[in-house]
Structure 1
Amino acid sequence: MEMKEHMKQFIDDFYQEDTNYDELPVVQLIEQEEFSTLSEMPIPEDGQSVEEMVHILRKEVYPNRSIGEHPRNFAFIPAPIEEVSKLGDLINLFYNPNASGWYPSSGTACIEHSLINWLCEQAGYSDDASGIFVSGGSIANLTAAIAARDNKLKPDDISKGVAYISNQAHHSVNKALHIIGIPEERIHRLETTADLKISYDDLERQIEIDQEKGFKPFLVMATAGTTNAGVIDPIEKLAEVSQRHNLWLHIDGAFGASLLLSKTHKNQLKGIELADSITWDAHKWLFQTYSCAMLLVKHRSTLLNSFSNRPEYLEDAHQADRTDFWDLGIELSRPARGIKLWLTLQTLGTKKISEQIDYGIALAEFTETQIRQTKHWEIMTPAQTAIINWRYNNPKFTDAELNKINTQLSEKMTHSGYAQVLTTKLAGKTVLRMCTLSPLTTETDIVKTIEKLNQWASEIN
């Protein structure tokens, strides 16, 4: 059988057997016996049949995963993917362009440049803005941190540089700062208000203290849509403080920046155009396959300053009237990650994307309504940007016992296979957290999930 036939067969088999997610467990972990068999499988001297190896992948490898497309997977922020995104991935895979610049792949470069420009427009940036497609929020945050360091600090001042982040910041922010040479003692975690937003008053105080000590404050990394609770930091106020002290303001909008495409909720990101850079993950709330993320910057020159380099072997590939992606980021060889997003936006249109984002927010609000009608459940953070946190809270138990009970409820739900609801920590308490981003989720899915949790909780009494 030719390889083309194997590919056709796989696609037919996948759509026939693997996509009835509602009847599958949300998460499945590999059993020890399978783990041992796969781990000990030798690499042969003579090759084995494609059919047999594909069968192993389909039946023994990929079933053991958390199914992101499942309508009752409430554990993680990445939403189910649009089928057209898969098609975009497939097309790009087959053509396999090196999308590092204009010369090696001018067609995809044209699409990615135009799409970056359009995304910058959505953020309220001017024509001076630019950006780059990257693998995810971690690399976007790192790229922004490098640009901020190079823009705001002289080389001799790096050892005095101070960055400010929220105590709710994603761990990739901390990693990025370590990589660019900012150790833990010069990463200041700012206080948050009762609604878990950065206190801009605390930021002002910390900057003044650090300046008096001879340090060099240079970067504020705020969040639009925190992982824990979907919180959006006070962007306008943070921009005001940052501008007054000549600090770079970065918005980690890996999750929440997608509100820019919502007609109803875009105003929650008011002031984002004041930020120097924005992280935005399309594989989170724009329904794309892994991986597809963007870093947008207010001024293209800030990326060129950090990443533009002209080695001899690339001289012929550079065109004076084009900006190559190798001049805007860390990577040289890279896939054309933006093609599938472009294809999705072109075929679905912004209206449908907006409606799907708004639907996820409405589902979280519906979930909150259902929880408030149930005895012994406490809302910890209200529904916002399609995330809600709550916990079982019966006064007959101590806090330690309640933490354990909420963990057990999460584990019981996961083991049941019906839904996946994981926990997080808020104010030292273990809480249940639901992300309701999926357009496939129904209100019935929400109701039954809460009913099951409530039933198991009642059995504890």
Structure 2
Amino acid sequence: MIDLKDFPENTSQLIEWIKQYYQNITSYPVKSQVKPKEIYNQLPEKAPQDSESFEAIMADFEKIILPGITHWQHPNFHAYFPANTSFESILGEILTASLGIQGMIWETSPAATELEEKIMEWLRDSLGLPSQFQGVIQDSASSATLVAILTAREIKTNFESNENGVPPNLRVYCSSQVHSSVEKGVKIAGIGRKNLVKIAVNEKMQLKAADLEKAIQEDINNGFNPCCVVAAVGTTGTLAIDPIKEIAEICRKYKIWLHIDAAYAGSALILPEYRWMIEGIEKADSFVFNPHKWLFTNFDCSAYFIKNSKSLIKTFDILPEYLKTGSRGLVNDYRDWQVSLGRRFRALKLWFVIRSFGIKGLQQQLRNHIQLSKELANTVDQHPDFELIMPPFLNMFCFRWRPSGFPEVEELNSMNKDLMDNLNKSGEIYLTHTKVNGQLVLRFVIGQTYVKKEHLDNAWAMILKEAEKLKVKS
């Protein structure tokens, strides 16, 4: 067991390991190459009964655990959306772990509550959100969306669902491209999956506002009670931007809660040139984005903003005797702003990041990623065997391999999947896919904190090399 006298030496060893990890990160396979149960089967059947040394633990970490890690901070990680971090965020997280607080209410650590309140105001203003929005840090956008749906449910039922159960006629609306967390949210909220209405999208993969209003009108005529609309600012598949202004007008007309899921793309709102994405935001009820995706703050850190915090608190407020304090009503008790009681001190790492980078530094990083994406997408587009399916937007584009002589969609889909799978198996790069109008396309996201042009040049060379191998086999 580690005691205080050994702690400094162990800490120094760990910090040195982290330093070496980032210096040599490109030597690791981006995507873990282990087989199912390979890690599990190397671990002892029973927990150790006696103390083991720090050196022994670290040796097994490197031997057993590290091979099973997919390296999300690797500069050749271009899959999903990033969950990036930074040295600033790591330092803030170390302090958070050291303090070990449970910040459920103001009394349990006033600094945790008040720093979070101020940080959320900084973010709100830096993103160009309306001043009446108040913010709270959730663990993920999935939790924030659930919170929004639950609040919308309570408002629509005059706060009777928490008391008497959920009526069977509530409806929630989103586009066919929206994140799966919406579907999970309506299930957990008791509204039911069958009451989630998915609206068709246009050629830009954006929700069709006219179809939304038509669906709402039909539901009202059939005895349903429209409760909530979830609009996307940056869908997971293609980064499509739903028409917020039009949707907001419809929601206001029918008195429906509007929640905006900007989990990934929301970070770009610190760039004034992208504020058009949320035109009409002043008429929305809630908004979420994840600093842990593209604002260099490690997971978990999701910024949730709400226009009327009183309705949120009324939805989640339960006051047992052991939580009654003299400060109640004078401060924010953020346990009333979320599903769980317990709270990590997430604001500290975000404070470190914002102060160290500065807003201008964050803007510069994002603009650099956007420019790198444009340049690589242009390179892809100019190659005769490849085509862009979705042009570069922010720091992502979608493309596919289409060598001459392979015109059939299903054949091309199979070939692109083989290309992606072979690249991922190599350990040199990690890509994921989506489908656009039946076409399997590869997504390329450039969001790692320390990615450089040389990494992208190498990634493109790997793609070309693997495509040529497959072409020869065909």
TM-score range, shorter chain: over 0.9
Query: Residue 13 of structure 1 is aligned with which of 12, 17, 23?
Result: 17
* Correspondence for 2:361: 352
The alpha-carbon deviation at position 47 of structure 1 amounts to: 2.8
Contact 1:361 1:386 in 2 (8 A): yes
Q: Distance in 1 between matches of 2:95 and 2:114?
A: 16
Q: Does 1:110 align with 2:114?
A: yes
Determine if contact 2:233/2:241 at 8 Å carries over to the other structure.
yes
State the partner residue of 1:163. Answer: 172
The yes-or-no answer on 1:390 pairing with 2:399 is yes
Q: Residue 107 of structure 1 aligns to which amino acid in structure 2? A: A
Match of 1:90 among 81, 90, 94: 94
Q: Could you say which residue in structure 2 is the equivalent of 1:445?
A: 455
1:119 aligns with 123
Aligned equivalent of 1:234, options 222, 243, 249: 243
- 2:113–2:332 CA contact under 8 A, matched in 1: no
| Alpha carbons of structure 1 residues 62 and 291: separation in structure 2 relative to 1, 3 Å | farther
State the one-letter code of the partner of 1:374: H
Q: What TM-score do you get using the length of structure 2 for normalisation? A: 0.92
Letter of the 1:164 partner, please give it.
Y
Q: Helix, strand or coil: the match of 1:378?
A: strand
Aligned mates of 2:326, 2:445 — CA distance in 1? 45
Q: Does 1:58 align with 2:62?
A: yes
User: Structure 1 residues 16, 185: CA separation in 2 closer, same or farther (over 3 Å shift)?
Assistant: closer
The answer (yes or no) to whether the contact 1:128–1:300 under 8 Å persists in 2 is no
Give 1:28 shift: 2.1
Higher mean C-alpha deviation, range 84-93 or range 110-119: 110-119
Moved more, 127-136 or 111-120: 127-136
Structure 1 unaligned segments of length 5 or more: list them. Answer: none
Contact 2:423–2:466 (8 Å) recurs in 1: no
- Say which of 323, 326, 329 aligns to 2:332: 323
**1:248 lines up with 2:257 in the alignment:** yes
Distance in 2 of aligned mates of 1:290 and 1:62? 19
**Aligned counterparts of 1:321 and 1:83: Cα–Cα separation in 2:** 36
**CA distances 1:113-149 after superposition (whole Å, capped 9, x unpaired):** 1112222334545554322211111111111111111
Aligned to 1:27: 31
CA contact (8 A) 1:224 1:231 kept: yes
**Residues 317/74 of structure 1: CA separation in 2 closer, same or farther (3 Å cut):** farther
Q: Which moved more, 1:313-322 or 1:76-85?
A: 313-322
Identical positions, percent = 27
Shift in Å, 1:346: 1.3
Q: Deviation per CA, 1:12-57, whole angstroms, max 9, x where unpaired?
A: 2231355422333212232578535434442122232232112211
Distance 1:296-1:35 versus aligned 2 partners, 3 A rule: same
Distance 1:389 1:17, change over 3 A: closer
Q: Is the 8 A contact 1:124 1:273 kept in 2?
A: no
Q: Does 2:71 align with 1:74?
A: no
Tell me which residue corresponds to 1:144. 148
2:464 aligned residue: 454
Aligned equivalents of 1:196, 1:27: Cα separation in 2: 29
Match of 1:371 among 380, 390, 402: 380
Name stretches of at least 5 consecutive residues in structure 2 with no aligned partner: none
Tell me which residue corresponds to 2:214: 205
User: Retained in 1: the 8 A contact 2:130–2:281?
Assistant: no
Instruction: Give the one of 321, 325, 337 matched to 2:346.
Output: 337
- Aligned AA for 1:290? F
- 2:273 is matched with 264
**Secondary structure, counterpart of 2:273 in structure 1:** coil
Out of 38-47 and 287-296, give the one that drifted further: 38-47
Calculate the TM-score normalised by the size of structure 1.
Answer: 0.94
Tell me, what secondary structure is at the counterpart of 1:62?
helix
1:431 to 397, 421, 441: 441
**Alpha-carbon distance, 1:417 to partner:** 2.3
Secondary structure in 2 aligned to 1:196?
A: coil
Report the alpha carbon displacement of residue 222 of structure 1 after superposing the two structures with TM. Answer: 0.9
Partner of 2:68: helix, strand, or coil?
Answer: coil
Aligned to 2:106, what secondary structure does the other structure show?
A: coil
2:138 aligns to what?
Answer: 134
Distance of 1:176 and 1:33 partners within structure 2: 31
Residue 278 of structure 1 pairs with residue 287 of structure 2: yes
Q: Report the RMSD for the aligned CA atoms in angstroms.
A: 2.0
8 Å contact kept, 1:276–1:297: yes
* Structure 2 SS opposite 1:159: coil
Count of residue pairs brought into register by the alignment: 461
Q: Is the 8 A contact 1:263 1:354 kept in 2?
A: no
Q: Is the 8 A contact 1:120 1:126 kept in 2?
A: yes
- Name 2:51's counterpart in structure 1: 47
Q: Distance in 2 between matches of 1:185 and 1:403?
A: 31
Q: In structure 2, which of residues 406, 409, 432 is the aligned counterpart of residue 422 of structure 1?
A: 432
Aligned to 1:184: 193
**Could you say what secondary structure the match of 1:265 adopts?**
helix
Residues 314-350 of structure 1, C-alpha deviation per residue, up to 9 Å, x if partnerless?
1126433112101211122211111110121012100
Match of 2:409 among 386, 399, 403: 399
Q: Is the 8 A contact 1:225 1:385 kept in 2?
A: no
How many angstroms apart in 1 are the aligned matches of 2:459 and 2:131? 47
Q: State the partner residue of 1:100.
A: 104
Give 1:273 shift: 3.1
* 1:222 alignment counterpart: 231
Q: Secondary structure at the match of 1:220?
A: strand
Taking a change above 3 Å as real, the CA distance of residues 121 and 299 of structure 1, as seen in their structure-2 partners, is farther
Equivalent pair of 1:262/1:355 in contact (CA under 8 Å): no
Alignment match, 1:38: 42
Q: Which one of the candidate residues 310, 321, 331 is aligned to 1:312?
A: 321
Letter in 2 for 1:393: R
Q: In structure 2, what residue type is equivalent to 1:53?
A: I
Deviation readout 1:50-85 (Å, 9 max, x if unpaired): 321122113320342221111111113125311010
Q: Distance in 1 between matches of 2:131 and 2:313?
A: 16
Q: Is the 8 A contact 2:127 2:270 kept in 1?
A: no
Correspondence 1:174 to 2:178: no
8 A contact 1:125–1:298 mirrored in 2:
no
Secondary structure in 2 matching 1:388: strand
Letter in 1 for 2:100: N
Give the letter aligned to residue 399 of structure 1: V
Q: 1:405 deviation in Å?
A: 0.8
Cα deviation digits, residues 371-422 of structure 1 (max 9, x gap): 1111121211111121111111235333222111101111121122221122
